[in-house]
Amino acid sequence: MSPSRFRDALWQALVAAVVATTGGGAAAQALPQVSVGRIERLADFPSRHVDARHVDVWLPADYSPARR
């Protein structure tokens, strides 16, 4: 396989992986389960580089927004 064909195949695989993980239906996805801490979802997080999407953030069990 030539380097350019390999690069194209790799790019297509990466795009497919991103589409599969975001699923286009992130709103319907349940929050991941964690054994320690908690997950908070930032819904429709805006970006200048990609379409708005949900971002899940892990926070430690003792996290407090009042304490920085």
Ordered by start, the domain boundaries in the chain are 32-68
Summarize pLDDT for 22-65 with one digit per residue, the tens.
555 545 688 888 999 999 999 999 999 999 999 999 999 998 88
Asked if pLDDT for residue 10 goes beyond 80, the answer is: no
Other beta carbons within 10 Å of 56: 13
> Does the pLDDT of residue 18 top 60, yes or no?
no
| pLDDT the model gives residue 35 | 92
pTM of the model: 0.52
CA distance 60 to 19: 29
- Whole-Å CA distances, 50 to 13, 44, 47, 54, 57: 19, 11, 6, 12, 18
* Among the listed residues 60, 33, 62, 29, the one whose alpha carbon sits nearest the alpha carbon of residue 43: 29
